[in-house]
Structures are given as C-alpha cells and as structure tokens.
Amino acid sequence: MQVYILRHGQAEPQQTTDEARNLTAKGRADIASITRAVTDLKSVQQIWVSSLVRAQQTAQIAGDFLAHQGVNIPLKATDLLMPEGAPSLLFDALQNVQLESILLVSHQPLVGQVIDLLCGSYSGYHPMNTSSMACVDCEIVAAKMGKLRWLRHVDEQ
C-alpha cells in the first residue's frame, strides 16, 4: 500500500475553538501547490481526513485537484486522524482495507508520529510542516514496515 500523508495547510489563529480554525489564503495556495507537484497522487483510492475544519478544507482542495484529473473520491472523516490520535489504531484500520493507495489528511503531532513509526525512525526525525506531504510504501501497515519514498515541503516546490 502507498500511504500518502498530508498535513493541513496554514490555518488562521485560534479565535473560538481549535476545531473551527479555517485555512488562510496562503494555506489554500500551499495545498494547491503541493498537490499539483505530486504526479502520482492520481493513484489514490480513498481519502481519510480528520474532522477538524482545516483538515477538511485541505482534503477538499486535494480532492478537487484529483477530480480535475478524472479521479472522484469522497472524503471519509475519521477520529483516527485527530491530532492526538493513536498511530496503532490507525495502522489497524489501514490493515483492514484492501487498497493500493490512500491519502491521509491530518495534523501534528500525529502525521510526524505515523511517518516515524512506519519507517522505524526516532521521534521527530521526519519534519512535517504545514502543507508537507510524504509517501510511504508498506506491504504491511505496521511499525518499522514502511519505506519512505519521499517527503516534500511546500517551500521546496
């Protein structure tokens, strides 16, 4: 399975609750830029996303890009991708789906933990800034069973 991991774009400062924060114009532009730069994103079969607004908006931008490429994928909101989510529970859920490729849209610290655990790296080894995306190949979605294909940051485009 190819696991694409995307951290949400830059969000506005917290004004009411953390859950309600929207993407900024820069955040939207950065997500559009990073999704355009990933040529193999068209292989994605499902998009799983946190229920927080900024992640939903990020996933929608990625989904709209794929739709323009002829790939229409509904978004699936899941609490497994909340910032404080447990990577082990996410790994279990991913083992139970028969997919070749999935896009996960989430937050720190979860996105960093997922990449580090899949690749057997120490905590914090793979930085995930806003709008960063990684691709990890996994025959089995479990700790130390992944191989990092690439990690891209929007400022490197």
Query: Tens digits of per-residue pLDDT, 47-100?
Result: 999 999 999 999 999 999 999 999 999 899 999 999 999 999 999 999 999 999
Reported as type and span, the H/E element at residue 89 is helix 87-95
β-bridge mates for residue 103, sequence order: 4, 47
Question: What pLDDT score was predicted for residue 156?
Answer: 63
CATH 3.40.1350.10 assigned to domain 2-10+21-156? The reply is: no
Q: Where are the domains of the chain?
A: 2-10+21-156
Global pTM value: 0.96
Q: How far is CA 71 from CA 33, 44, 46, 64, in A?
A: 18, 8, 10, 9
Q: Which amino acid is at 81?
A: L
pLDDT for 157 beyond 70: no
What is the rounded radius of gyration, in angstroms, for the C-alpha atoms of the chain? 14
Mean pLDDT for the stretch of residues 34-42? 91
